Chain A
Amino acid sequence: MTQRVNRRTLLGAGLTVLAAPALAACSGVSTSGTGGEGSVDFLSTQFLPVEERQRFEKILADHVKAAKVGFNPVDASVFATTVQSQVDANQVKISLLGGLHGDLAPHKDRLIDLDDLAKGLTDRQFPADLLELGKFGGSTQKYIPWMQATYVLAINKAALQWLPSGADPQNLTYEQLLAWAKAGRTGNGGKPIFGFPAGPKGLYHRFFQGFLLPSFTGGQITTFRSPEATTAWQYMKDLWAQTAPASTNYDFMQEPLERGEVMIGFDHVARLVNAPKPKPDDWLMVPAPKGPKGLGYMIVIGGLAIPKGAPEPDKAKEVIKSLTQANVQVEVLRANAFFPVAKADLPGDLSKPIALEAAAVKAQQGAQGTIVSLPPVGLGAKDGEVAQIFKNCFKEICLDGKPVQQVLDAQAVKLNAILDEVKVSCWKPDPLSTPCRVL
């Protein structure tokens, strides 16, 4: 199939050179393998890296029989612009949207209701809170859960030599992590061994929102400037002093880990999976550390939605049905390290890096005293600005060295200004009070 397209486009290339003016009458050659009548254009913020895209396209070709799907992974900004301009101009070319909760949230009023589809998919046994998240705080289903992920720690076994006595890597506390990072740095000739993804495309704000703060304060927003939050940020300041300074350039921890620039790294599972690939036996994947209030962790949710005015809504629904089947969900895990949202038994023959992650994710979910966080619910377009508040706290406290309480008070005012504008109720782990505000 692809072969034929290639030959045809090659011919096109030859013709272009020979007869450029004649080609002015042609509006372009498809680069996504579709574009014909009746095909489903699938715009996604996920699987953008070249290899992930190729693997997901193969899954689509093998398992989605209802329609020809043109898969277009794009940057989150292009996604937002495209959806906004197409729906608002009432000229929609896309039939299916795939994105993280935060990618879809700004467009909740641009999506069709999927209640009927959700009712027909009860056999998938989606967890109730994931379905609830797909309503954006409203009463109708706006997206169907697609896949999920979380964040864990990847550890190069070479770092175990500096593990503080009495600490169990599978059961770390934040204090032990700090002691470990400190000992490792001393043992490593002054070079830090811990890193986290604080680069421009890194997901470090999730570390604060879903891990550090819930573990120390039990909340995310309401406790933003509580005395416990001050302790948490004070801890962060100490940890940062033992963290590889190049972390502010890391977008994906798998690369510095694989290169050996750092030995312990915290990141999204899909952004850690390549680290153990060359030498899987050298690696451990473990749950996030525990804090005074418990083990806080965040789940990441991807969803599938259909924009209003989509040219092929019925076929898009069929594609959603195919993608939520248990076996397809497992294929996505194998290929790209996103975990199933439908009830599916994980097979025993997963590749070593995925098996490592699956074990860590399972241990994290099953640990005692977990505090589950969701990505912000119902913030819509303000999602990014709220994340930026947490990033600004990091910048001002850790990088600029400003006093913790002062920074938190100042940022709390800004956070409340945003929250007052959107007027939503709080999400996990904060108590579900309305409106959500910093206390």
Chain B
Amino acid sequence: MLEAGPIEYTLQGFVAMKTARRPLLLIAPSLVFLTALFAWPLIFGIGQAFTGTGGPTAAHFQRMLDDPYFWPAARNTALLIVVLIPLQFAFALTMALLLRERPRFSGFYFYLWVVPLAISDLAAGLVWLAVFTDRGYLNSVLSSLGFDGYSFLSHENPASMFIAVVIAELWRATSLVLVIIVAGLQGIPKDYDEAAEVFGASYWQRLRHVILPQLRPSLQVALILRTILALETFAVAQALTGRNMPLLVGETYQWYDFLQNPSVAAAIALMILTVSLLAAAGYLRLMRDQTGSPR
């Protein structure tokens, strides 16, 4: 079913010569390891989600669906992914193309722009809280410019709350996409681009017809990684908005931590897992349809 993986396009010919058993030996340790540490707890979790005091039950899922926070959480998570990922890719692409022009200090710029790669989501949440909180730095700037302060993170202003989370996530998580794209750009020979320029193609035409098609594999890797990671986002949103803007993974923690109901927590986690599975499979399928294009 899932034909083409992120690495598929790189293999040609060489593979046929190798014996069939060796790769399985090579991946065996990682399979054993991950099965022990993930699959077993996962099976335990599935068991938890589907069993109640009196045998198998769907009650935990019913409970999950009845909770007033569940649907807002699902909606926010979907909305965040739909808004954030295109923005993030546009932002990363802009940064990468700027760097490609080799401005002065490009080494320094690159350093600064990828720093968030090493910052934990909890720390990033704290950092942005200092900016957006009612008496934080943003309102300080506004008030010294003579404007009234604004409660960005209040539940009364869902739009500004959402925007604040998007900005913080854009800051925190774009660097991964940037690194992948910059790396991909380095692999594109300049000749094509220059040839197109000689034939009078405008910058946009070159971007559209020369650079982007060649970047596709990098973009695809970044897309899969970011979508799965975006589904997991919650620490930043929680630091900024508390439960005013619930997200699915945050709800898992809520059910587990505060409500001490691991069954419902496991039910939500399984939902997330299913969506991740569908997203990854969807992307892989998309990729297979397009790998026919020339590289």
Interface residues of A (CB under 8 A from B): 75-77, 80, 106, 199-201, 245-246, 248-249, 251, 259, 261, 381-385, 387-388, 392, 395-396, 399, 414
Contact = CB atoms under 8 A, between A and B. Distances in A.
Contacts of B257: 75-77, 80
A381 B260 contact: yes
B154 A248 contact: yes
Nearest to B151: A246
A395 B133 CA distance: 22
Contact of A246 (B66, B68, B154, B238): B154
B100 interface: no
B68 A396 contact: yes
Interface of B: 66, 68, 133-135, 151, 153-156, 238, 241-244, 253, 256-261
Contact of B135 (A75, A80, A261): A261
Contact of A200 (B154, B243, B261): B243
A399 B244 CA distance: 10
Nearest to B53: A421
B260 A245 contact: no
A391 to B, nearest CB: 9
Given A395-B68, A396-B68, A248 B242 contact: yes
B68 A200 contact: no
B242 A385 contact: no
B154 A385 contact: no
Given A77-B257, A106-B260, A245 B243 contact: no
A241 B227 CA distance: 39
A199 B238 CA distance: 10
Contacts of B68: 392, 395-396
Contact of A261 (B134, B244, B253): B134
Nearest to B134: A246
- 5 pairs of A and B residues whose beta carbons are closest in the complex: A77-B257, A200-B242, A384-B259, A245-B154, A200-B243
A199 B134 contact: no
B151 A200 contact: no
B130 to A, nearest CB: 13
A436 B242 CA distance: 32
A76 B151 contact: no
Contacts of B133: 249
Contacts of A395: 68
Secondary structure dominating the interface of B: loop
B256 A249 contact: no
Given A200-B238, A246-B151, A249-B153, A381 B261 contact: yes
Given A245-B151, A248-B242, A392-B68, A385 B135 contact: no
A255 B55 CA distance: 48
Contacts of B151: 245-246
B135 A248 contact: no
Contacts of B153: 246, 249
B135 A259 contact: yes
A245 B154 CA distance: 6
A384 B258 contact: yes
Given A249-B241, A261-B135, 16 more contacts: A76-B258, A77-B253, A77-B256, A77-B257, A80-B257, A200-B242, A201-B242, A245-B155, A246-B154, A248-B242, A248-B243, A249-B134, A249-B154, A261-B134, A381-B261, A396-B68
A396 B69 CA distance: 11
A57 B153 CA distance: 36
Nearest to B246: A200
A399 B161 CA distance: 15
17 contacts: A76-B257, A77-B257, A77-B258, A80-B260, A106-B260, A200-B242, A200-B243, A246-B151, A246-B153, A248-B242, A249-B244, A383-B260, A384-B260, A384-B261, A392-B68, A399-B155, A414-B66
B156 A249 contact: no
Nearest to A251: B242
Most chain A CB neighbours (cut-off 10 Å) among B151, B153, B257: B257
Contacts of B66: 414
Contact of A385 (B134, B253, B256, B261): B261
A385 B259 contact: yes
Nearest to B254: A200
A245 B241 contact: no
Contacts of A248: 154-155, 242-244
Most chain A CB neighbours (cut-off 10 Å) among B68, B134, B256: B68
Contacts of A76: 257-258
A199 B242 contact: yes
A77 B258 CA distance: 7
A209 B260 CA distance: 19
Contacts of B259: 384-385, 388
A180 B201 CA distance: 70
B158 to A, nearest CB: 11
Contacts of A246: 134, 151, 153-154
Nearest to A259: B135
Contacts of B155: 245, 248, 399
Contacts of A261: 134-135
B242 A249 contact: yes
A381 B68 CA distance: 21
Contacts of A387: 258
A133 to B, nearest CB: 19
A76 B259 CA distance: 11
A385 B262 CA distance: 12
